[in-house]
């Protein structure tokens, strides 16, 4: 999963670590070479000459004078060696190092669907943690990896949806699934139904997509296979009313969760967006779940922002991650709307869904 993004991040860690190494070789070693012959040798020569002169002129005072002077160069020498040792064992990166890295690798990140605003945040984060910080030479790679891990975590850690807790608190819990055409809403509903069934909850499906041909039959087919009840109206009927009926049905029959389908729509389609707003206004769902096709690329961010602006998204499902080697859209979407990812779709089967765990995601992507 996300092979391209993984490779890109691994290469980045190597490049930044190498930058630290290069800096040390170029800037520290010549200084070290220049300083060596100058300082320790010259004072010694001077002392010798002085001693010889003094011995010749006033032999008695010769032994008194060098004694208080000797500790000074020794101290300086010790301090110099300490500083040198520190320079050799630790490294510091500059702001320019990070800027150079991003200008060299920006295209690679963008082609993996990492949005510009995510890159800006990433760059700011790396600078805060890396610039002018002493990095122990032997641990440079480990340290840079750690900083990458923390920065990526800050991007994907946008809160948590405690689904099971929510179900226990409110019955029936109403989830409305929304998003672009073909993003994976209906399939995700079937998968979430299966997930809940396995946990012992009773879900009911609402055929709220009354717009697209065969959409009701598609949901009914899933319901049949899963043994889950589907509440439906006619094609062309009011989507908000279907969801309303499903909630009443769930209340009357002791169901735990309503999973409501809606028609796919583009944010530019005013009538359908108004319809979606009505579904939300009438039913006040507990969770508005945006389903994003992770293959959408950079347009996924625009879609997420527009849906969020229109109805307020609470959580995201990233579908089709199994066929997406890029993976940057995961970072981009949750960072753009600052909402958590609830599930990732990992295939076409009912079991192909996993809860999104930001820590595990970051560990996996850097492994």
Instruction: Give contact residues for ligand GDP (rule: CB under 6 A).
Output: 179, 181-187, 264, 291, 319-320, 322-323, 345-348, 352
Q: Quick one: CA torsion of 287, 293, 296, 298, rounded to 10 degrees?
A: 40
* Binding flag, residue 324, Mg ion (CB under 5 A): no
Residue nearest to Mg ion (CB): 186
**DSSP line for 277-290:** HHHHHHH--SEEEE
Query: Which stretch in 33-41, 67-75, 131-139, 177-185 sits in contact with Mg ion by CB under 5 A?
Result: 177-185
| Least CB distance to ligand GDP at residue 282 (A) | 21
The CA-atom distances, in angstroms, between 7 and each of 95, 155, 253, 326 are 24, 18, 51, 10
The DSSP bridge partners found for residue 259 are: 175, 205
Closest separation in Å from C-beta 197 to ligand GDP: 18
Each residue 182-201 as x (binds Mg ion by CB under 5 A) or -, in order, gives ---xx---------------
Q: Quote the least distance from Cβ 153 to ligand GDP, whole Å.
A: 24
Q: Which is nearer to Mg ion, 186 or 324 (CB)?
A: 186
One character per residue 239-258, x = contact with Mg ion (rule: CB under 5 A): --------------------
Residues 215, 218, 224, 227, Cα dihedral to 10°: -70
Nearer to ligand GDP, 91 or 185 (CB): 185
Closest CA relative to residue 156, chosen from 120, 118, 187, 184: 118
Inter-residue contact 96 to 49 (CB < 8 Å): no
Query: In the complex, what is the shortest distance from the CB of residue 158 to Mg ion, in angstroms, rounded to a whole number?
Result: 26
3-state SS class at 1: coil
Compare residues 98 and 196 and give the one whose CB is closer to ligand GDP. Answer: 196
In the complex, the smallest distance separating the C-beta of residue 237 from Mg ion, rounded to whole angstroms, is 16
Measured from the CB of residue 339, what is the shortest distance to ligand GDP in angstroms? 18
Looking at beta carbons, which residue is closest to ligand GDP? 345
User: What DSSP letter does each residue of 54-117 carry, written as one string?
Assistant: HHHH-TTTTTTTHHHHTHHHHHHHHHHHHHHHHHHHEE-B-HHHHHHHHHHHHHHHHHTT--HH
Applying CB under 5 A, the residues found at the interface with Mg ion are 185-186
């Amino acid at each position: 999963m996300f092979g391209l993004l993984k490779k890109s991040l691994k290469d980045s860690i190597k490049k930044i670590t190498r930058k630290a190494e290069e800096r040390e070789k170029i800037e520290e070693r010549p200084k070290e070479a220049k300083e060596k012959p100058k300082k320790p040798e010259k004072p010694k020569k001077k002392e010798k000459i002085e001693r010889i002169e003094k011995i010749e002129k006033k032999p008695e005072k010769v032994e008194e004078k060098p004694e208080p002077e000797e500790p000074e160069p020794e101290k300086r020498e010790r301090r110099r060696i300490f500083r040198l040792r520190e320079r050799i064992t630790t490294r510091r990166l500059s702001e320019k190092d990070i800027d150079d890295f991003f200008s060299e690798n920006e295209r690679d990140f963008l082609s993996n669907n990492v949005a510009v605003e995510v890159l800006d945040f990433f760059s700011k984060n790396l600078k805060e943690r890396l610039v002018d910080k002493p990095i122990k030479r032997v641990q440079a790679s480990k340290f840079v990896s750690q900083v990458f891990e923390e920065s990526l975590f800050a991007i994907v850690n946008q809160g948590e949806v405690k689904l099971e807790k929510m179900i226990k608190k409110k019955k029936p819990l109403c989830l409305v699934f929304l998003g672009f055409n073909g993003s994976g809403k209906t399939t995700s509903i079937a998968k979430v139904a299966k997930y809940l069934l396995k946990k012992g909850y009773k879900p009911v499906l609402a055929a709220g997509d009354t717009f697209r041909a065969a959409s009701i039959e598609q949901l009914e087919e899933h319901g049949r296979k899963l043994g889950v009840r589907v509440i439906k109206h006619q094609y062309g009927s009011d989507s908000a009313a279907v969801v309303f009926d499903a909630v009443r049905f769930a209340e009357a029959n002791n169901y735990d969760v309503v999973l409501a389908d809606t028609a796919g729509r583009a944010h530019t389609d005013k009538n359908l967006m108004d319809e979606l707003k009505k579904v939300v206004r009438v039913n006040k769902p507990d969770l508005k779940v945006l389903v994003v096709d992770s293959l959408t690329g950079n347009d996924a961010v625009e879609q997420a922002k527009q849906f969020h602006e229109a109805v307020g998204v609470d959580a995201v499902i990233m579908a089709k991650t199994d066929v997406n080697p890029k993976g940057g859209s995961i970072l981009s979407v949750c960072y753009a709307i600052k909402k958590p990812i609830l599930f990732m779709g990992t295939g076409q089967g009912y079991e192909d869904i996993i809860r999104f765990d930001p820590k595990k995601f970051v560990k996996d992507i850097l492994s």
